[in-house]
A and B are shown apart, each in its own frame.
Chain A
Amino acid sequence: MVFAARHVLRRAVFFIALALMLLFGCARQVHRGPGPALRPKFPSVRVLLDENFTTGTLLLLGDYRLDSEEAVYILNKSVGTFQVRFSDGRLLFRSKQRRLSYRHIEKLDFIPLNDSSSFQWNGTLYRGKITFRKIGGKIAVVNTLLLPWYLEGVVPNEIPSHTLDYLPAIEAQAVAARTFAFYQLQHPAADYFDLFADTRSQVYRGTGKNAPLANKAIRETMGLVLADSAGKVTETQYHSTCGGILDSGNKYFTGTARTNGVLNDKNDGDFNCAGSPLFRWVRSLNTRTLLKNLVSENFISAPVADSLRKNGFTLGLQVLSRSASGRITRLRVQINDHTIDVANNRIRRLLRTGDDGALPSNLFFLKSSRQDSAKFYIIGAGFGHGRGMCQWGAIGQGLDGKTYRNILRFYYPALTLKKIY
């Protein structure tokens, strides 16, 4: 009896030990990389795609979840392209396979179920979430996506990104764009979005642009932003072409190569941005075009303009003030005895020529024509406001062998690089 009990006990111990060995052996951890807690956490940004939407098209190219009061939908490409319309207070989605209609909705989110999901909005490819939100009787369309994806849609639209020699400049641009976006996250444009998709913030055209160099630049500078001496991320401005002279409005200049409070964008006597197509430019205008612009900018009425055209007029242009870098800040227009003062960006719109949009910059001067009293010339330099980094200056410095760190130090001497993720 005792022998049998011992035998049973030994067998029990054996099987328990075996079971324990199997349990811990199979549960051995296989390290495939850092766990979720250690993967970098990318911030998300909300970009306004349309602030007053009425019609559009939406094609879901991955799995998306749509939560509404009546149901939760899982939607993908199989439902086809939605024709989306907002009218009479109703938001309507209609495709060959599905019809969804919402009258009293405040917010509608199409949430991606995995990272590879994307959608086409009006033919442009985006990643992340798309939200339709009612704001004051209108519908705003917002794209929410991870910051690296957002940068893929910004960098190649802000700087030429298809030439390997320009890589240092593209990397500098990636840092500047990341800094600007991160700053906006802390100072959002509105409570329902952080950034505009145009020059009011940064030009963002979705994530479908094939720009491998831009993506490389974003990866190489992953998580880097510019911060002040207190470690605070700042609003980094940048522009296309300074024309050789940066605007001293940038508070981050502490004075390198500075003459009379202005920073010359030069290297060994050569202009860094001389490679820009808008380094120098010449436009001509006549009285009639200027008159038309005065009407379209609501400075004078159309009947007044018609009378002036018929009977003739004297038109005077006078530069009232310039910034320290020479950019015109106030311009006076005198038509007969009527005076109009125009400031800053409105000057560029007012003096636009027939073919193009606004003048490239406020850095210009006037020349009358000796042969035609109704004609004058505008001789200018640069494209953009001239503050912060000059993108073509960055390209020029990159061609001279400078790295993105050198470039950023030149244009933002009071800032240092900081890693946020």
Chain B
Amino acid sequence: MKKIYSAKTFSYFLAVLFGVSVSIAQPSQKLKTFLWEKDFETLRKNFAEDQIILKDIGDIKQRLELRSFTEAPGMRVQIFAGTDRENAENIAEQARAWQLDSVYVEESKDLFKVQLGNFRERIEAEKLLDRLRFKGMENAWIVHTAIHVPKSSVKRQTSEPEAADVAASLVYTIQLFVTKDAVKARQFQQEASKEIPQPVWIRPEGNLWKVLAGKFDDESSARQSLSAIRSAHFPDAWLTQVAK
């Protein structure tokens, strides 16, 4: 007998689907409220830590310390392999300056390798590889190796957004124009699209319409495009961050 789903069942299904959608959308709304709609004084009172302690375990311990991690088979992106340790350390330092997490200098049989990341899935490793190649690191490649996997990650229960989530939810872009007139924003977008190669998009923020160019994962690639855009008839262009 053919099963017929009642309207009631269908409504429950929609409600569940809606609930899931809302919960997925929630972080973006939280971020917007967190950053852009509150007085800075309110933000600071609710979220600031006016004292923080950082721990750097040092190069020696970083190679030996496994207490926080277990090892598992996985992949990393290797950007250097050579016999000069100092060279390897310098390249690793550069990678850390790009705000890349998980930078390792691995020593094996007089060879020093600089490896980035801890990936279980190849597709995640390939994302980093693409970023590095965009930065000009044509010789970066994916290697199979033992990776660090956190033993446990206990997330503190709090309603405030994790700062890392805040930062990861932002993208660099180039602000070309801002107005309170949606028609002018659209006109500017159409004109600008003819003159620059990056996609030009409009972002409404409150009563403002911002015309933006491009989306960049990191600041240095955004800055390179900024110089070109300023030269191409947009001298008032400026770097900014917006929620993705």
Q: Which residues of A contact B (CB under 8 A)?
A: 156, 160-163, 165, 209, 243-245, 264, 270, 274-275, 277-282, 284, 286-292, 308-319, 326, 353-356, 363, 365-377, 379, 381, 395, 399-400
Contact B167 A366 (CB under 8 A): no
Contact B52 A282 (CB under 8 A): no
Contact A354 B97 (CB under 8 A): yes
The stretch of B4-12, B55-63, B70-78, B114-122 that contacts the partner chain: B55-63
Interface string of B211-225 (1 = CB under 8 A from A): 000000011100100
What residues of B have a CB within 8 angstroms of the CB of A209 in the complex?
A: 235
Contact A379 B240 (CB under 8 A): no
Interface string of B153-188 (1 = CB under 8 A from A): 101100000111011001000010111110010000
What residues of B have a CB within 8 angstroms of the CB of A314 in the complex?
A: 53-56
- Measured CB to CB, the closest approach of chain B to A228, in angstroms, equals 30
Q: Which of A243, A308, A309, A354 contacts B98 (CB 8 A)?
A: A354
Q: A161-B236, A278-B238 are in contact. List 4 more A-B contacts (CB 8 A).
A: A156-B235, A315-B55, A316-B51, A363-B40
From known contacts A264-B39, A368-B52, infer whether A313 and B163 are also in contact, taking CB-CB under 8 Å.
Answer: no
Q: Which of A275, A308, A367, A374 contacts B208 (CB 8 A)?
A: A275
Q: Kindly list the 5 A-B residue pairs having the minimum CB-CB distance in the complex, ordered from nearest.
A: A312-B58, A277-B240, A365-B48, A354-B97, A367-B163
Q: Which of B33-68 touch A at CB < 8 Å?
A: 35-36, 39-41, 43-44, 47-61
Instruction: Specify the chain B residue showing the minimal Cβ separation from A381.
Output: B40
What residues of A have a CB within 8 angstroms of the CB of B155 in the complex?
A: 370
Check: B145 CB closer than 8 A to any chain A CB: no
Q: Which of A245, A277, A310, A356 contacts B60 (CB 8 A)?
A: A310
- Measured CB to CB, the closest approach of chain A to B226, in angstroms, equals 11
- Measured CB to CB, the closest approach of chain B to A239, in angstroms, equals 15
Q: Which of B202-244 touch A at CB < 8 Å?
A: 205-208, 210, 218-220, 223, 235-236, 238-241
Q: Which of B98, B205, B235, B236 contacts A274 (CB 8 A)?
A: B205
Q: How far is the CA of A190 from the CA of B219 in the complex (A)?
A: 39
Check: B101 CB closer than 8 A to any chain A CB: yes
Would you give 27 A-B contacts (Cβ < 8 Å), ordered by A? A209-B235, A245-B40, A277-B175, A277-B238, A282-B167, A286-B99, A288-B56, A288-B96, A310-B58, A312-B57, A312-B60, A314-B53, A314-B54, A315-B53, A326-B44, A353-B219, A355-B219, A355-B223, A363-B40, A368-B49, A368-B163, A374-B54, A374-B57, A376-B54, A379-B43, A379-B166, A400-B180
From known contacts A353-B219, A366-B52, A379-B163, infer whether A165 and B179 are also in contact, taking CB-CB under 8 Å.
Answer: yes
From known contacts A315-B54, A367-B48, infer whether A379 and B35 are also in contact, taking CB-CB under 8 Å.
Answer: yes
Contact B206 A368 (CB under 8 A): no
Q: How far is the CA of A318 from the CA of B220 in the complex (A)?
A: 29
Contact B180 A366 (CB under 8 A): no
Check: B107 CB closer than 8 A to any chain A CB: no
The number of chain B residues with a CB under 8 A from chain A is 59
What residues of B have a CB within 8 angstroms of the CB of A381 in the complex?
A: 40
- Measured CB to CB, the closest approach of chain A to B217, in angstroms, equals 12
Instruction: Specify the chain B residue showing the minimal Cβ separation from A266.
Output: B39
Instruction: Specify the chain A residue showing the minimal Cβ separation from B161.
Output: A367
Q: How far is the CA of A323 from the CA of B239 in the complex (A)?
A: 28
Check: B126 CB closer than 8 A to any chain A CB: no
Q: How far is the CA of A275 from the CA of B179 in the complex (A)?
A: 8
Contact A326 B40 (CB under 8 A): yes
Contact A311 B60 (CB under 8 A): yes
What residues of B have a CB within 8 angstroms of the CB of A292 in the complex?
A: 93, 97
The interface centre, meaning the residue of A291, A310, A400 with most chain B CB atoms within 10 A of its CB, is A310
